[in-house]
């Protein structure tokens, strides 16, 4: 049925093409042949005719199947002048700049290379310098860059022009200051690992700043160079390294090492385990390598994106409102000049009117908002409920209140990266944490019986080979089955025990060959995966302990203290493609060769022998949030192993398609393996992760998890953290490598409803290449998305995709160096100080110590910052609009003369000491208490709609300003006809009182500092009436007129000023009361 659903193109196409598409997908009937899955790749013409269509109107099927999908296509681009005005000019400028940059900085083509040891003259090609520059500016670009970042805002550019105009005497209308105001060892490059001081020929490195994983990775030196007698011999041999061309993938590498001066020549294959990437840290011993990639060709640089300048959505909205105010300013000035009749030098009068009404766009808007942002940052860092929080960017605190998408890392962010063994299932019996003592007794009994039987035989004789044939009979008992399972888990891994040096004994930590101290308190385990460590620690707890390991052997200690030695013949590391790992070992006591393997159930279910319990039990453990591993084994004869080894060595030397050839050889062993057990491990979550994620979901925030970990691990964490609810379906996007496969898989995903998406980085890359819009639209409909095996650049690309396709605000949170690109690309970046260092924390806009703190950071501080800045910004604009309205009325009365109503110092005082403190005290206002905001996260959802600051609310404030400005000026002129010389003092006094009362009208929750600010400002104004009376004349009209101090103490002055103030404010108080009664806000029920 799925293949019969027709797909139609977005744009109109010919009828013939439509018939071709319909015929292709309907395929005539159930029995008709349909083109194969991989056949689509060769039929690109068909795919070009069949673009995925995601919008509702494109389907002829039942609308109910697609009712959740929004309109898919963006409106066609506007053309002509409208397109140019609405943003086309910006697109053209950007395109030109990009073209110039590409011309100046053409990228070299990346190629494979051959690096000779000790013979640099043989290198024919030049490579980049090994210098990495990550600074944003240099000595030439700093000043132009900073000026551009400031004056790209219309508000700042406007103030600059107004300020400069005051240097022209004919345009000067006030004092200049009215307008001019200040506003271990890190690996340096990508190398092939040649030699180490560790006797084992291997070392551990930390890659937390590269892939975000805190576990140490085991790296192996090239065996040919490790065996050289002395270090200096590296420069005397005739050898070279062939390396593939530089690429983004940090998890793979293909190359060869060739030594030509030996007989016969030595050829060794190189893989990811032989590499040391730049920005990783050597954790044990010292290493020597040959550099293969430098500078911008290293993996770490190729996976790092350039930071951007972040601008808050509130600032962008205010910038748009500023442009609207400027248009109003120009229109008002033109009206004034027109009413003058364009007499005299009208263009000069026009510019003077522009300056007179320039308070429509108040310079204090930028100052107040920036001071408010600083205050919000101070409040965040002083919050005792989120200790250790640091605000590193003071320009975007309001963004915390507008978020729609949260993109989070997994390891160290949602989880502690600490594993605990929880479950062992043998098919007929299951063991949990409360029955581990039974496993311990079974292991102890098995080894005691084994050595009691061995003591009866000749100690020097080798155990007979017939033990292999009798093994199936022994495995029938539960005790022996438990023993086999525990032994397999203790052998099949990549864990290495490390012994710490005793304090005061020696300053070095190294393996001792003879008198190694195997004491438990001195031993720690290191591995590339915490799952591995958890399994080995569990085998130690039940009696079988890993005590030593090198590249060729490992030793186990039994409960009785005996040491069992196993020779490691081959290791098959875990890959995201195979989803399993294996090891071939030889028991030195019995010479038995055994192939052990463990992996994900999806990979192992087809490898092990038939059983009727594995699938069901894997599902049960997954529902409990446990990470499952299936363990199996196969016994090999000496002949079987020798045949495999020869084919395996030949495949590893292949330069082309090496991975496919090696995988084919290994798969020849993976047949009819004996299923031993199923294990379940729990990854410990960070504190309060589940309630925090639930709170964020209730707040309307969609959460995406982007991780470099395996698909199975990411899925388990998504379930255990309740990122995906237990009742919710999960759609796992199958691996795709071509356009045809992506086309079919997206069709399958499209028919799913209300399910979480799990997709790998490779599949994501293919889909983004061909179907970026369709994938983004479908993924945005999912309640949760999990992207696994993501590189740092892929994480950043996903963030940018959401920003471009949805236009919503994004937040990225992580704790490792691999999260820096994602954090810097997001509108708001949050870093966590954790085990992976401070790189993410230092690169982020906000730094926290625990993931649970993000709840209070968003619900309380983000919400408050946005609502306070919205109120503050609109009130400051109201303060400029009301005085500009009064200026317009005044100029109209005086025959449209371009004469200022108030002198310069009064204008400065109006925006500073008279009203600044009460207006700025709005940063302390709150509609609900922090506890209520945390309890009801649904209040946060309203903020994403931007209703606190919109053209609607802006228009309301404009109307209020026009009404109050008109009342104040006309009231002053009407009531004070006989005392016209005092009109400045009367109108200005009423204006100050009105502003103070409007602040009180705007406040929702009073703070004691607000009361202090109100009375302090009123006191400052009263004092200025007495001591600065010479400034209350009417400009040049009443030049030389001074305010009579006795006049302002009369009852007439007081009641007339009070009357004007009451008329300007009382109606607004009445309207506010009626609105709260008839249409109360969402938070009013919580505060009552």
List, by residue number, the catalytic residues.
409
Q: How far is CA 349 from CA 331, 405, 728, 790, 892, in A?
A: 14, 51, 69, 62, 14
Residues in CB range of 478: below 8 A, 6 or more apart? 426, 428, 429, 442
Distance CA 773, CA 132 (A): 34
Distance CA 907, CA 1032 (A): 11
Say if residues 1022 and 996 touch (Cβ distance below 8 Å).
no
Residues in CB range of 814: below 8 A, 6 or more apart? 212, 408, 409, 412, 413, 820, 822, 823, 831, 832, 840
What's the half-sphere exposure (Cβ side, CA atoms, 13 Å) at 247?
12
Neighbours of 323 (CB within 10 A): 14
Q: Report the length, in residues, of the chain.
A: 1088
Distance CA 778, CA 748 (A): 11
Distance CA 494, CA 574 (A): 10
Distance CA 120, CA 124 (A): 9
H helices within 807-852, ranges in order? 820-825, 839-843
Distance CA 127, CA 122 (A): 13
What tokens does 871 get? Answer: 């109120």
Distance CA 683, CA 421 (A): 9
Phi, psi of 622 (to 5 degrees): -65, -35
CA–centroid distance for 953 within its chain: 33
User: CA torsion sign, 864 to 867 to 872 to 873?
Assistant: positive
In which element (H, E) is residue 766 found? helix 761-770
Phi, psi of 143 (to 5 degrees): -65, -50
Sheet (strand 113-116) strand order: 113-116, 239-243, 255-259, 266-270
- Tell me the residue ranges of DSSP E strands in 124-254: 190-196, 202-206, 216-220, 239-243
What tokens does 411 get? Answer: 């390891």
Say if residues 1043 and 982 touch (Cβ distance below 8 Å).
yes
SS (H, E, C) 301-314: HHCCCCCCCCCCHH
Q: How far is CA 377 from CA 374, 399, 682, in A?
A: 5, 12, 38
Phi, psi of 257 (to 5 degrees): -115, 130
CA–centroid distance for 575 within its chain: 25
Pairing outcome for strands 755-760 and 729-732: parallel
CA–centroid distance for 1056 within its chain: 60
- Inter-axis angle of helices 951-975 and 983-1002, to 10 degrees? 150
Q: How far is CA 674 from CA 281, 449, 587, in A?
A: 40, 24, 18
Residues in CB range of 679: below 8 A, 6 or more apart? 421, 423, 424, 425, 489, 535, 598, 628, 629, 631
Say if residues 632 and 675 touch (Cβ distance below 8 Å).
yes
Say if residues 852 and 367 touch (Cβ distance below 8 Å).
no
Residues in CB range of 378: below 8 A, 6 or more apart? none
What letters, b where the CB count within 10 A reaches 16 and e where it falls short, cover 778-792?
bbbbbebbbbbbbbb
- Tell me the residue ranges of DSSP E strands in 44-165: 113-116
């Amino acid at each position: 049925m799925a293949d019969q659903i027709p797909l139609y193109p977005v744009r109109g196409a010919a009828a013939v093409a439509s018939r071709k598409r319909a015929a292709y997908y309907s395929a005539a009937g159930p029995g008709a042949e349909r083109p194969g899955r991989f056949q689509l790749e060769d039929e690109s013409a068909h795919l070009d005719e069949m673009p995925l269509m995601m919008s509702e109107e494109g389907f002829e099927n039942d609308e109910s199947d697609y009712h959740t999908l929004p309109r898919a296509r963006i409106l066609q681009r506007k053309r002509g002048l409208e397109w140019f005005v609405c943003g086309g000019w910006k697109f053209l400028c950007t395109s030109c700049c990009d073209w110039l940059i590409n011309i100046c900085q053409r990228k070299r083509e990346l190629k494979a290379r051959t690096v000779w040891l000790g013979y640099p003259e043989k290198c024919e090609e030049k490579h980049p310098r090994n210098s990495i520059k990550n600074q944003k500016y240099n000595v030439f670009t700093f000043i132009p860059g900073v000026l551009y970042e400031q004056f790209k805002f219309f508000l700042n550019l406007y103030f600059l022009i107004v300020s400069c105009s005051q240097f022209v005497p004919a345009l000067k209308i006030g004092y200049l200051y009215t307008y001019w105001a200040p506003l271990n060892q890190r690996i340096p490059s990508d190398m092939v690992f040649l030699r180490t001081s560790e006797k084992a020929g291997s070392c551990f490195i930390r890659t937390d700043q590269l892939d975000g994983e805190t576990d140490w990775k085991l790296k192996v030196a090239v065996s040919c160079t490790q065996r050289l007698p002395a270090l200096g011999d590296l420069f005397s041999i005739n050898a070279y390294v062939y390396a593939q061309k530089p690429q983004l993938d940090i998890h793979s590498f293909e190359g060869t090492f060739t030594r030509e001066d030996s007989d016969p020549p030595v050829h060794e294959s190189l893989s990811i385990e032989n590499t040391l990437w730049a920005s990783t840290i050597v954790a044990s011993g010292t290493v020597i390598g040959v550099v293969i990639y430098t500078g911008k060709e290293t993996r770490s640089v190729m996976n790092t994106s350039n930071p951007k300048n972040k601008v808050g959505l509130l600032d962008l909205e205010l910038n748009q409102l500023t442009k609207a105010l400027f248009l109003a300013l120009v229109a008002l000035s033109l009206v004034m000049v027109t009413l003058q009749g364009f007499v005299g030098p009208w263009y000069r009068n026009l510019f003077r009117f522009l300056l007179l009404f320039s308070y429509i766009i108040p310079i204090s808007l930028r100052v107040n908002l920036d001071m408010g942002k600083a205050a919000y940052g101070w409040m965040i860092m002083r919050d005792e409920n989120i200790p250790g929080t640091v605000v590193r960017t003071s320009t975007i605190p309001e963004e915390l209140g507008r978020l729609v998408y949260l993109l989070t890392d997994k390891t160290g962010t949602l989880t502690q990266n600490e594993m605990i063994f929880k479950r062992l299932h043998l098919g007929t019996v299951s063991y949990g944490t409360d029955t581990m003592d039974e496993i311990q007794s079974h292991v102890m009994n098995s080894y005691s019986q084994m050595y009691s039987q061995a003591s009866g035989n000749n100690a020097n004789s080798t155990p007979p080979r017939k033990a292999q044939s009798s093994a199936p009979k022994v495995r029938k008992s539960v005790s022996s089955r438990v023993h086999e399972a525990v032994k397999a888990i203790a052998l099949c891994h990549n864990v290495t025990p490390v012994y710490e040096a005793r304090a005061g004994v020696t300053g070095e930590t190294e393996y001792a060959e003879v008198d190694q101290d195997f004491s438990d308190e001195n031993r720690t385990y290191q591995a590339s995966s915490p799952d591995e460590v958890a399994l080995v620690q569990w085998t130690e707890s039940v009696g079988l302990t890993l005590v030593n390991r090198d590249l060729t052997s490992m030793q186990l200690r039994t409960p009785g203290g005996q040491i069992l030695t196993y020779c490691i013949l081959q290791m098959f590391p875990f890959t995201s493609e195979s989803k399993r790992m294996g090891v071939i070992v030889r028991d030195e006591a019995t010479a038995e060769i055994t192939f052990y393997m463990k992996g994900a159930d999806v990979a192992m279910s087809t490898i092990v022998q038939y059983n009727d319990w594995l699938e069901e039990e894997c599902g049960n453990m997954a529902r409990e949030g446990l990470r499952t591993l299936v363990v199996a084994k196969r016994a090999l004869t000496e002949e079987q192993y020798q045949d495999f080894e020869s084919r395996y060595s030949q495949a590893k030397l292949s330069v082309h398609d090496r991975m496919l050839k090696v995988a084919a050889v290994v798969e020849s062993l993976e047949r009819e393996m004996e299923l031993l057990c199923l294990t379940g491990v729990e990854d410990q979550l960070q504190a309060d992760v589940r309630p925090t994620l639930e709170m964020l979901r209730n707040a309307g925030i969609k959460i995406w998890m982007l991780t470099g970990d395996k698909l199975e691990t990411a899925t388990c964490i998504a379930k255990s953290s309740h990122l995906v609810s237990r009742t919710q379906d999960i759609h796992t996007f199958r691996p795709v490598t071509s356009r045809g496969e992506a086309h079919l898989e997206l069709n399958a995903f499209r028919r799913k409803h209300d399910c979480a998406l799990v997709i790998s980085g490779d599949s994501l890359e293919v889909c983004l290449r061909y179907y970026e819009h369709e994938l983004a639209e479908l993924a945005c409909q999912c309640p949760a998305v999990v992207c696994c095996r993501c590189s740092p650049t892929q994480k950043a690309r996903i963030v940018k995709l959401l920003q471009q396709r949805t236009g919503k605000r994004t937040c990225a949170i992580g704790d490792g160096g691999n999260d820096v690109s994602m954090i810097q690309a997001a509108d708001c970046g949050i870093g966590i100080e954790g085990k992976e260092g401070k790189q993410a924390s230092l690169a982020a806009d906000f730094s926290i110590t625990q993931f649970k703190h993000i709840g209070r950071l968003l619900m309380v501080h983000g919400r408050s910052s946005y609502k306070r800045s919205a109120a503050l910004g609109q009130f400051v604009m109201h303060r400029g609009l009301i005085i500009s309205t009064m200026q317009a009325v005044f100029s109209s009365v005086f025959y449209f003369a371009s004469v200022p109503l108030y002198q310069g110092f009064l204008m400065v005082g109006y925006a500073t000491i008279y009203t600044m403190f009460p207006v700025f005290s709005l940063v302390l206002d709150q509609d609900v208490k922090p506890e209520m905001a945390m309890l009801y996260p649904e209040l946060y959802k309203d903020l994403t709609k931007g209703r606190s600051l919109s053209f609607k609310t802006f228009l309301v404030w404009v109307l209020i300003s026009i009404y109050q400005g008109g009342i104040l000026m006309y009231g002053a002129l009407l009531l004070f006809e006989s005392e016209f010389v005092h009109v400045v003092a009367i109108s200005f006094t009423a204006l100050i009182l009105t502003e103070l009362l409007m602040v009180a009208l705007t406040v929702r929750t009073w703070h004691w500092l607000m009361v202090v600010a109100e009375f302090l400002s009123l006191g400052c104004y009263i004092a200025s009436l007495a001591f600065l009376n010479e400034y209350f004349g009417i400009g040049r009209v009443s030049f030389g007129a001074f305010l009579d101090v006795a006049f302002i103490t009369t009852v007439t002055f007081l009641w007339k000023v009070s009357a004007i103030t009451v008329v300007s404010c009382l109606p607004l108080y009445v309207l506010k009361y009626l609105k709260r009664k008839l249409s109360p806000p969402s938070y009013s029920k919580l505060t009552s």
